[in-house]
A and B are shown apart, each in its own frame.
Chain A
Amino acid sequence: MAAAEAIVETRAVTKSYDNPEGHRIEVLAPIELAIYPETIVALLGPSGSGKSTLLRIMSGLLAPSSGQVLWHGRPLDGQLPNVSIVFQNFALFPWLTVLDNVEAPLEAQAVAEVERHKRALKILDTVGLDGFESAYPKELSGGMKQRVGFARALVVEPDVLFMDEPFSALDVLTAENLRGELLELWLGKKMPTRAIFLVTHNIEEAVLLADRTVVLGRNPGRIRADFPVALPFPRDRKSARFLALVDHIYKVLTQPDVEHAPPGRREEPAARDGYQRLPHARPGGIAGLLEILIDRGGKDDLYHLADELAIEEVSDLLPIIDAASLLGFIRVQEGDVEVTPQGRAFAEADILTRKSLFREAALQHVPLLKQIASALRAKSDRTIPDDFFFDILEEHFNREEAQQQLDTAIHWGRYAELFDYDANSGRLHLTES
């Protein structure tokens, strides 16, 4: 792989934003990543790990805060490289026909009408859209729309084809069909691009398509693993090697965010800047997970669990796992989940006992909730506006995430009957016990 010259590479690329209060939010830690010709690279990571940001920096849409992006060994100075992006929600122009949508990038390159037509029709034929030239996007199904997205991306014969979760807005069957066709075109060398960079949160998708998989961690986004997928094509989802690889990536993804902390620890997992990040899970979801685990003897393999629950995307399960482990209800080790005695007690209790067990666990493991409760107790009128806590959170998270952190904390606090929240006045009230 290293023999060929990289098409694009990042040198210590970082990205950070300043929030309105002047605090710096780091999105990407220094990242070194190169894309080589003739490969499909898949970029995996939990939400909030900066996958899309990295894609936009590499494709030239976004400037890095520091570091360099080199195309063919040379920095880009303001010029966009010859690349394409296939977007999650297609990003087609609804008022243009399929043909006009595909021709638009060529028009930008000043290709004359006749030639434009010829090239667009040829690529539409390749992706299987023959006969749909004069349709408008809204007349097409999701899968057909994404085919138009592919055709538009390929018509410019890009150096690298970037794909930002291209299958996640499609239903399961359509997505699977489109993945198969994409792979067929790629392997048959019918795809006029030299490399593909695929951002996804679907582990199986990555293992199915990619020659190489890169896993990002979050807070801030950084590369946690980078390994080749050396399985021969066509890949069999049920083969032992395929499953082993998927299982391995699950383990990497579900390991604690901070590598040096021992797995299954009892202390609070911390964000990079020492501040705890609450996973956005609801108490009901946590209880549901525990009940299923207990049904299975109190212990299960994570990937197996997700598969049985028919959860397509690991990212849907991760917050619940994170939350349960944060509260000390489960232990996660090497991709296996095990219910702790506390977890068992919580799952088997009645509604009111559950609440008190949740309250104990929350006060023990979630500093934010403890902080809110003691701040409320310290006030004579036992009430504080939510802005106060929002401002504290905003020192550690961006605006949107700070709001979500507060929402989750309020939800947990209400469930635990630690405090109540009045949405009209925007104030938190201590629950008198």
Chain B
Amino acid sequence: MYQPPPAPSLVEERPGTAWSDLLILAFGLAVLYGVLTLGRSWLGPVEASAAISPRPGALPGYAAYSLLRMTVAYVLSVGFAIVYGYTAAHSKKAERLMIPVLDIMQSIPVLSFLPAVMLAMIALFPRRQLGVELGAILLIFTGQVWNIAFSFYSSLRGIPSELIEAARIYRFNRWQRLMKLELPFSALGLVWNSMVSVATGWFFLMACEMFKLGKRDFRLPGLGSYLQAAASAGDTRAILWGLAAMISLIVIIDQLVWRPVIAWADKFKFEQVESSAVPQSAVLGLLRRSPTLAWLRDRAVRPLGERLALHLARKARAPVEGGPGGRKAWLAWLGRAAAAAALAGAAFGVLRVGMLLAGLTQAEIVEVLRGAGATFLRVVCALVIGTAWAVPAGVAIGFSPRLARIAQPLAQIAASVPATALFPVVLLLFIGKGQGLGVAPVVLILLGTQWYILFNVIAGAMGIPSDLREAARIFRFRRVDRWRRLILPGIFPYLVTGLVTAAGGAWNASIVAEYFHFQNRTLQTVGLGSLIARAADSGNFDQLITATVVLAAIVVLTNRLLWKRLYHLAETRYKLES
């Protein structure tokens, strides 16, 4: 794993902070105890269908379970993303295969993987809880990893050529280049994408902790299953408790993890002059002042890092003898074998899918197409409604610093709650007795996607230069002209970014939104999402694959045909250059 490079100059020596050390120690012990306890249950025998207790008192335990799953999945994601991005950026051949694969993987809904991943993992560990747990983790992983990998890849490709030349002319070895140039340069992108990924992870956690596969009913103890169980039972009190636990957990993680990490990562900002607004974090200050951590860093991390760096530098400088040539050839063969295997796998997959699609009956085709049409309409509806309220609101917030101070933190908290956790509440509000899903899916999709639009519009409105706004005032633009000539063109690139993300999220959300277990009933409506969810539930693999392929194709096609063009237009016509 990536160890942050030591930063001696940033340590503020302040004696007498033993209490902060105690705090850190206590925290560390608690984490250790938690991990050991959970680990014991993981290695224990299968208990695939745990009884989920509706007591609020059980919530801290469930939160711990969910948090551990999230952490493991996230750590796996970052590790994989770095290896993937690094390989794609450094090998032209690999790049040609890996980047399109990344594009496709990103557009396949995570929940379509659920049955296959779960069955594989259970087959791998038939007697241990570990199998089901790993399955859930792998699913969260598939939802998180791609945007981190893409961010790392594009950061590597975006390193200024002078810095690359400096690293080459001073003969940095690979390790040094990674630690001193590539990881630091990518750090900010990795941090922001990690936050997005973890939010996505919470979204899917809800679905991954409790699901049906054919006749088997899986329940993993956790926040997601608590909320789902509460929703199924129609227990309003439990839903609210679960929601409260979820929000607190997210706020705590934000304060204890993301704030300090953002403040720390600020030094990796690639800028020539210091910016005025530097992010702050009290927790980071606490960590930096801790004598114990300072001791650890000076006595353990730094010397070890130094020895490793020196060792690798010596190895890189050693005269090349016959060996490395052999090793290179061996590596090249390995690469070729991996590429061949990947290609063969892909070819087989395409063949299978092709045969499957060819064998579809007309009724099945009609069903899939009808579903696709219905879901498409829902997605469009959600995007239109989201744009309709988020654009005026976002512009108002972006233009008024006073409003921004109040509204932005509130919106951030609201946005951090995974939509899947809110679904039960929405269903409670929307569904009277005995009715079907009705308009609820649109609302559910909207819940998951409106924030992307809002935050991007706020950023866009803030980015409109004040002299342009002043010009509009001086020339007495009417309201219509102000929107047409100034605001809409100004926020256009941001709006496009927001809509792209929102659209991707909307398709994924449809799977959860169109098919739901609620109050001991299964609520469903016509749609591609419900088709996928139902197929996964009933173990109908052919239908699952068909619907998934159609969904992925729609996402990829709209990306290519619509969003890419709008992006291009945004970059060429509506870019505000300073």
Contact = CB atoms under 8 A, between A and B. Distances in A.
Contacts of A91: 160, 162-163, 165-166
A93 B184 contact: yes
Nearest to B302: A113
B180 A104 contact: yes
B171 interface: yes
B176 interface: yes
Interface residues of B, number: 35
Contacts of B184: 93, 95
Contact of B169 (A80, A93, A109, A139): A80
Given A59-B169, A93-B163, A105-B170, A138 B313 contact: no
A87 B166 contact: yes
Nearest to A79: B171
A108 B173 contact: yes
Given A80-B171, A105-B170, A108-B176, A94 B317 contact: no
A236 interface: no
A104 B168 CA distance: 12
Contacts of A109: 171, 313, 317
Interface string B252-283: 00000000000000011111111000000000
A152 B172 CA distance: 13
B567 to A, nearest CB: 17
Given A96-B180, A108-B172, A113 B165 contact: no
A138 B273 contact: yes
A97 B316 CA distance: 25
B274 A138 contact: yes
Contact of A93 (B181, B309, B313): B181
Nearest to B166: A91
Given A89-B162, A95-B267, A83 B169 contact: yes
Contacts of A139: 274
Contact of B317 (A104, A110, A134): A110
A97 B310 CA distance: 19
B314 interface: yes
A112 interface: yes
Contact of B270 (A84, A94, A113, A424): A94
Interface string A101-142: 000110111101100000000000000000000101111000
A139 B271 CA distance: 10
B275 to A, nearest CB: 9
B306 interface: yes
Interface in B94-119: none
Interface string B65-85: 000000000000000000000
A113 B309 CA distance: 11
Which of the listed residues A83, A87, A108, A134 has the most CB atoms from chain B within 10 Å of its own CB? A108
Interface string B161-190: 011011011111100100011001001000
A402 interface: no
Contacts of A152: 170
16 contacts: A59-B169, A61-B165, A80-B171, A83-B169, A84-B169, A90-B162, A91-B160, A91-B166, A94-B269, A95-B184, A105-B170, A108-B171, A108-B313, A134-B9, A138-B273, A152-B170
Question: Lowest 5 CB-CB distances: which A-B pairs, in order?
Answer: A105-B170, A110-B313, A91-B162, A134-B9, A91-B166
Interface of A: 56, 59-61, 80, 83-85, 87-91, 93-97, 104-105, 107-110, 112-113, 134, 136-139, 152, 156, 424
